[in-house]
A and B are shown apart, each in its own frame.
Chain A
Amino acid sequence: MTKIQLKNVSKAYGNSKKVIDNMNLEIRDGSFTVLVGPSGCGKSTTLRMIAGLEEVTSGEIWIGDQLVNEVAPGKRGISMVFQNYALYPTMTVRGNIEFGLENMKIPKVERKKMVEEIAEIVDLTEFLDKRPQNLSGGQRQRVALARAMVKKPKVFIFDEPLSNLDAKLRGQMRTELIQLHKRLGTTFIYVTHDQVEAMSMGDEIVILDKGNIMQQAAPMEVYHNPENQFAAKFIGIPAMNVLPIAMLERNIGKMTDGRIFHVGFRPEHAEIQTAKQTTSGVHLPCEIMTMETLGSETLYLVNSDAGQFQVKSFHNPLMNTKKVHVTIPFDKLYFFDTQGNRVYTDGLPFEWRDEKVREEVLV
């Protein structure tokens, strides 16, 4: 039982403003939970409070059924992998992996066996007697992993562990970490600012902004059903387009729901065509401003009388075209109020300008 609970946790440095304000968070036992958010959102602070490297200003942190507020970091049953690996430079790889075991007073013979086992798993056996300086970035990363794994912790904590690796290695390590989680079944808490990492690795993601939880859900749930504008814009590449509803009223008709202030749609849900087609949705005549061809997909920045937005298309790029027609299906629209919170509606919250389209939808 190693679920982690934060109950009304706040954190402030000195007398300044709270970095974390009354956070309530539950991390499921055995989950791969990713804390994600822009820099300064409090994700690292949250992680460090769980690890015991920062004290909480108020509130309680529970690991399993133990209140750990006053428990030293080394006694919480946690292993952490740091962004810069934090390997002890004067020790060999073996020394690095063994250090924690030594402090746990595990007998030497057993230690040796454990180190060698783990080195086998992460493929470091031939480097055991080398110093970290003489290893490549990926190898150092694996030493850091081995050092964390060998202690058989109840919880693994990762603080942006892949950000120092090059793109190719990062992709590879991502897969390895997912596999590792599957094999160990231990609770993983992972901090990153990279939403791709969050989406691809986590089975649960927690989106943070300015010390507040914006949404906690499975990745695809966040993608399809964002609770607010922040979550909607943070997940997805490129970000969700959000336009003021007032700009769109001309195209879709008068709003019937007064709460709605913004309307959003994902770039990949908009259809870009050379001529208007009779599919149900918002129709916008647009002009292409820029075009980025990425091989399998094409990214357009278009300008309409409702404002600028992006469209992602999986069709062949529209070369030498200026005027286009963009259709956004009705069921792919997201509505937000003035605070940026999602507004859920039964049916479509506006009067139809085009009665014919309405009939189509209703049929």
Chain B
Amino acid sequence: MKTSLPLRLLNVIGLIIVVAIFAMPFIWMISTSLKTLGETMIFPPKWIPDEPIWQNFMDAWNSGPFLQYFINSVIVSVGILIFQFITVIPAAYAFARYEFRFKNALFGLVMVTMMIPAQLIFLPVFLNLSEWGILDTLWGLILPFATSAFGIFMLRQTFKQVPEELLEAARLDNSTDLKIMMKIMVPMAKPTLITLGLFNFITHWNDYFWPLVMTTTEKARTLPVGIAQLRQVDGGVAWNILMAGNVILVIPILIIFFFAQRHIIRAFTYTGVK
């Protein structure tokens, strides 16, 4: 199908505007991270600094125990990921494939937890964890997110699409439920699991609120909290240093996106075997 030139032009302009809206803050962040402090203030703003100051990254990295923050972030994000897969997969399998008493009520309960805002329950959870004595530890950052209602919901939908005959065939092949789940259901749900894992990882890598509430010392602080603290350097806000810190924060996610792009796209075009 051929569209007329003006229409195509309009299309391209529209796309440029959309991309600009999403990309502009990002480019601004990178640009600022390479400026001198003076350059960040001038008007009209400069998109490309006269001379890129790579030193900003070193300054940001060295202005706190960032290696510790980075390691904490990795442990917390990966830890949450592992815990969620351990809890979400069997729960979704049970809700999708088993008949038991109060199944619908229990599933409703799981769904309700999605609707309560985090700000509402952070205090009781905080008090609870304080009783357990795991405030300001990595466990305190991981355990509250050890399962995910959204994950259970998504994976249940996927598991429900698996034809019943496959499970029956497996049962006739003398397979245990655990094996049905791990060898047949999970491989078929791979796109969903990758999507869940990605969203999950990004959410908790970038999470600011909970680590801010939970941590009081640098031994458990994560990158976002650490970077936010860069603002307090020398009274004023050193925007160039702060943005350099943000770039450091975002790089791992960019790398993951780069490698997982294929899977992300495939996650949205689920194809089964006829």
On whether A84 and B172 interact (CB within 8 A), knowing A89-B188, A90-B187, A132-B273, the answer reads no
**CB <8 Å contact, B170 and A88:** yes
What sequence of 0s and 1s flags, for each residue 161-183 of chain B, a beta carbon within 8 Å of any chain A beta carbon?
A: 00101101111111110010001
Given the known inter-chain contacts A89-B188, A89-B273, please indicate yes or no for A53 contacting B171, CB distance below 8 A: yes
**CB within 8 Å of B: which A134-151 residues:** 147, 151
Q: Is A356 an interface residue (CB 8 A)?
A: no
A88–B174 touching, CB < 8 Å: no
A240-258 interface with B by 8 A CB criterion: none
Q: What is the bound-complex CA distance between A104 and B175, given in angstroms?
A: 9
**Contact status A75-B273, CB under 8 Å:** no
A147 to B174, CA, bound (A): 13
Q: Is A293 among interface residues, defined by CB-CB distance under 8 A?
A: no
Residues of B within 8 A of A73 (CB): 168, 171-172, 174
CB–CB B174/A74 < 8 A = yes
B184 at the interface (CB under 8 A from A): yes
A158–B190 alpha-carbon span in the complex (Å): 31
Closest to B169 in A: A86
CA distance A133 to B170 in the complex (A): 18
Task: Classify the interface of chain B: helix, strand, loop or mixed.
Answer: helix
Q: Is A72 an interface residue (CB 8 A)?
A: yes
A100 touches B165 (CB 8 A): no
Q: How far is the CA of A52 from the CA of B169 in the complex (A)?
A: 11
User: What distance in Å separates the Cβ of A88 from its nearest Cβ neighbour in chain B?
Assistant: 6
Q: B173 touches which one: A52, A89, A90, A100 (CB < 8 A)?
A: A100
Query: Which of B166, B174, B187 neighbours the largest number of chain A CB atoms within 10 Å of its CB?
Result: B174
In the assembled complex, the CB of A121 is this many whole angstroms from the nearest CB of chain B, namely 19
CB distance from A83 to the nearest CB of B (A): 8
Residues 147-162 of chain A, each 1 if its beta carbon lies under 8 Å from chain B, else 0? 1000100000000000
Binding site for A on B (CB under 8 A): 163, 165-166, 168-176, 179, 183-184, 187-188, 190, 272-273
Q: A89-B166, A90-B190, A132-B273 are in contact. List 9 more A-B contacts (CB 8 A).
A: A72-B174, A73-B172, A75-B174, A79-B172, A86-B169, A87-B169, A90-B188, A103-B174, A104-B174
